[in-house]
Structure 1
């Protein structure tokens, strides 16, 4: 059994309680933002919000220079971050595969 925490303001505000409960019940969980891994969550995987904001500037520029918004393509996130908390993995009795560690953007020990 495992859990996936959805990105939501309520979840962000209560991240310490959520990660603590997951640890107490030995429940591995994947979280939407780095702040969850910092609070003791096992793994955080999400798109890079700052990269999205940077790309929005290009959209705004095109609209302000005359392009109709309906003519612009729909864009999806292209940059993602993977953060692994090894301390939590050890607490849960999990071994993180070397290939997953190699693809992590950040490892919390």
Structure 2
């Protein structure tokens, strides 16, 4: 699957609720993770509402949370049998479980430090397959790029601090 087509399709899924309301077909998203606290879930729902997506009306979200890592494969397979339009992996272990469970359903991962190193995608520039997402770490001079982006966002800033946990 081409990256642009995948991203465009995912974006259309998340930003075109009017078209879906007219058809009366709610979209289904699967979400797999270790946990999602109430604050995270509220932020998730608020962001969806801002884009016109309301759970239970034009969007069905299937949440699956594994209390222990050994349950991830079972829960990933369970989500795949529901044939969602898109699945979201909260972390590297859920992403690996979903990658093993399907090669056709689009998967978006978040909170994954090195998706290339984990074998989730082929490269950051061209992920390939049915996965894409947000890498929280990239090789090379990423810190310099972060500072450059911050300077562009706040051109008058005289001090910039980056908090890093090396472990």
TM-score range, shorter chain: 0.3 to 0.5
TM-score calculated relative to the size of structure 2: 0.27
